[in-house]
Structure 1
Amino acid sequence: MIRRVTLLTAGFMAFLYPLSSSGGVSINYSFALLPVGWMLLRGRVKMPPPVVVAAAIVYAFVLVAAIVLDGGANMARRLASFVVFMSLFAYSVIEVDTAMSRAFRRAVVIISVLFSLVAIYKGVALDLLALGYGAKDAIGSQRFGFVYLMAFWLLVFHVPRTRLQFTGRFAALSVVTTGLLLTFSRASIVALVGSVLVFAVINVLRWLGRPTKRGIATAFAAVTGVAVLLVLLQQTVPYVFQYADTYLVQYARDTVALREKLSDRTDSFGTRAFIARRVAETVASSPLTGSGYLGVWILPDLAGIAGSAHNQYLDVLFRTGVLGGAAYGALLLFLLTRLRPADRGLYWGMVAVLIYGMFHETFKESQGAALFAALIGIASEHWRRSRAAFVVRHPVVPQPANPLPAS
């Protein structure tokens, strides 16, 4: 069991590694090899949940319709994008048992800690304060922030059994949070703060309904831990807080400056607003298929401005149309409803990733696809086990045949 978990952990770490081509395109889709190997060894597949089957059918229909309507244009690129997109369902047809689920969670945390340590080392070696705003280009990254977010929440809900584990969890949380801030990504900061606020509000409302001494102690410990963590981060990476204030907080205070940014197509805010308008126009003109799995690069007026939608939801809507967007929404709802009882760390990590997806692609990246595929697999396995447990609790008792009437 331990050896299997270790091997699977190493495998998931390899799957989550953000490997890209020279053109910056994610190419590490090796995570699909694990389900293929499982099916070859077992000689069978598991039945996916109905919502997953329905979504897969919708996305296959979108592909066929796009090919028919567009006359086979961009066939190779379209098919490649479709195969990559459908890899998200790879783990829904295999058994994601306890060992595999545990290995996935460990891999997310370990690789996040390692990447964070690398970022911290670069910050020290390059003298973060001396770099000024150039630190974003030297250290920052937008490709891994959502993985850090998932690791953060997994660590929050990890229950240490010893003092050493408690110390290790706090150290890992500090490292991952520092690594997340060193991405210099506004999306990462907003997703972290947003998910923490949602979590806090829900739990405060729940506690007000049924106040307990344990709730008070937990809240006090949480606030104290956050305060200590913020003080440590302020002392070690003060420039990150200055960056957040300059490039994020000031726009919340100055709405006039924000409107100017949104109207400026050379600014990141303005670029996102323009892309959103063009996506809406394209989907309105082709609601059934959208672009048919082609990216926003096909829009002539976006050439040289943007190669991505800068929004996971807009990307799916643009590529697959209204039907595909609705199927994606159903999948996300399925994930949230199944992950919450299965694993609270994964659930709140998912909430943070969904917030992050409003500002950047997540599951479009290969490491994001590996994350999403594993989450669908875990949620699908939870659905199958819940269904089996329901059958055990409510067996179907055959009714005796009606006796023949007396002659």
Structure 2
Amino acid sequence: MYSICAKCQGRKMLCGLPRCPIEERIRAVKSSLLKIRGREVFGATPPSAVVGEAGWPRVRVYIGEPPDVTGEEARAYDDPRLLWGRELEDIIRLRSYMVFGYAAQTSPRKLGELPLLAVSERPVDVEMRLAKTPVESLRFDLREKPMGPRAPIEALRIDGNPAVPRALDKLMSDDLGAGAAAVELYRRGVDLYTIQRAFALGLLGARHRRRLVPTRWSITAVDVAIGDALAQQVRHMPEVSQPLYGYAEYLDNRYLVAVVPGPLRFYYLEKWTYAGRVAEIEVAEDPRGVRSTMDGGYEAARLAILEKLASMGRRGTVAMVRWIGERYYVSVGNWQIRETLRRLQLTPLDENYKTYTALVGKDPISLIKNIKRLDEFL
């Protein structure tokens, strides 16, 4: 893609996209830098917090805020439920506008009130004084969400009180294991994304063992813990009475899901198409819950489908296929998998045969049975 970008320079649109993503990102970054007064940034964190991976256990903890955006307006910059449905370029623009201050630490205890900002139920106004002028690293990474300009935090002043969920506030003082705490919070109705940030920032678990956990690891760990708890319930529910199918698409990601009568088990196939090349990821899970491999995308998809089955009071054998096209050139995070599949409708094929055929391009039964190994699995 970058060879095309060098020739195009944002003018000829050789990539076929309606707007140049690099130009959009540069404009967003410049706009945010203009709102910084010296090295001071004032705005509200949506909340937005990221724990990095490099150098673990001493890692960078980032807190993000859109300059001069305060109150509830800030929520739209990093809330998956509000971001879902937007175009990819809009998501890149919003994320790139946020300024991220960071601190490098080994223990959550040394972060002061910063973790409380990240688990607030509402945006919190924050003034950050940065140690130097923030810089932007322009990267288009299929593993990392886009981030705006960043710099070390010199000082941080909270203008307001973080609204920590009551259930989380209680568990922060307990010694319950981090996975069990995540499940308990989910059962008590705490937002999944708040739980993920709490896990990453070391607010859960046995107090003497709490550590900062890189955000990518924490997201998958929470999906696994909650998904396993849901699977334990669904495993003993009655079977679906007939095959169910669902189709959804978002950001050039297309999903086809089938649930057929049988024990609770999963097959997941992810197919990437990029620059004429195809790559595949396969995950199979047996009725005991044993996976053939660990994959964050699979765990996000699995959680969404388990939520759906639990709400139906039914179990079944599940096949999920995710196609990823070339227009998904920047990863926005596994939330888009989870939120897209949460909105997918599972219905008997005979009720929507023509609709599925039109969406998928062919008879979905033939399609799903011709996918690699899927006919054997079902």
**Same-fold call, TM cutoff 0.5:** no
Q: Give the structure with higher Rg (CA).
A: 1
Whose relative contact order is higher, 1 or 2, with alpha carbons under 8 Å and at least 6 apart? 1
Q: TM-score normalised to the size of structure 2?
A: 0.27
Q: TM-score normalised to the size of structure 1?
A: 0.25
